[in-house]
Structure 1
């Protein structure tokens, strides 16, 4: 199962490790874990904490047990995060495919990724969110930033792409061709 939440990426994996450490070692309910994430990491609201909890689970850094959520015994290494993105995050494989097709002359933007995946956006998300296109465009931008954080994507200057808005654009990164 692939999960939808894609929070804003941290500046480095040490920040991700700090988020993981905010999840208890002893299983806790969703509410307890969200409260800990909110309080210990200064997250703005419960929904953001819930998104982080789900995303950490997708990355393999948190496990869900019959008694609740618990911190996994795994460090957020680049390899683990790459695998978690590939295997656990909705539309990440499609983003990686689009990155492999991108070139420095025609890099991938968040708008292009959204357009390439718009038909894959779950129907219930479209029905319940009148602003679903903006929501999923922003998600595409965050996903590309996550891929760049772990070298699955390489950011190229938006101005070089001819995009008047200068929005970031990406090509496949150094780790995109590796299995780790």
Structure 2
């Protein structure tokens, strides 16, 4: 299963930990997980909290049960596990990473968007109409920022460019 929501990336993994710590250890421990995240973290809107909860599920750091959300039994913040989950469980993450990996030079958000445009499902174009390009350019930007946080990519000295990190999980698992 793949998940679509991608929150704004924090500066580093500690930002993920801060949100994750606010997710209850037991489903049903709080009446409203989103409200709880708003009270306990820097998040400001219910929509942000919902996006984070879904994204934490994608990274296999949280689970949704009938009683509500809970932290994974043993949430691994180990980079290899997070890298794999990101690549496999977040919509378009793999495509964005593949575009970076095959780029001859560090790429801008717009260049990566152009490289993945053809891989974006047609229903997204139809659903978004004139908003398709700005919405998906922003999504690609967020995916690239998450790739940096998860050590799959790095920002170059020209901060608006990204390069694939050759020591990432795909290299370790391919061989």
CA deviation profile, 1:108-163 (whole Å, cap 9, x unmatched): 221122122223434454344442311211111111111122221122233xxxxx
Give 1:174's aligned residue.
Answer: 167
How many residues of Structure 1 are paired with residues of Structure 2 in the alignment? 171
SS in 2 for 1:179: helix
* Alpha-carbon distance in structure 2 between the residues aligned to 1:70 and 1:100: 34
SS in 2 for 1:178: helix
Give 2:32's aligned residue.
Answer: 32
Shift of 1:3: 0.9
Alignment of 1:63-74 (within 5 A): 63-73=63-73, 74=75
Give 2:21's aligned residue.
Answer: 21
Give the TM-score, by structure 1 length.
0.82
What RMSD over aligned residues (CA atoms) do the two structures have, in Å? 2.4
Alignment of 1:153-168 (within 5 A): 153-158=153-158, 167-168=160-161
Shift of 1:69: 1.6
CA deviation profile, 1:43-84 (whole Å, cap 9, x unmatched): 121111111111000000001223322111213221221121
Structure 1, gaps ≥5 residues long: 159-165
Give the TM-score, by structure 2 length.
0.85
* Alpha-carbon distance in structure 2 between the residues aligned to 1:117 and 1:20: 30
Alignment of 1:133-152 (within 5 A): 133-152=133-152
CA deviation profile, 1:91-121 (whole Å, cap 9, x unmatched): 1111221122123xx2222112212222343
* Alpha-carbon distance in structure 1 between the residues aligned to 2:151 and 2:49: 25
* Alpha-carbon distance in structure 2 between the residues aligned to 1:47 and 1:127: 23
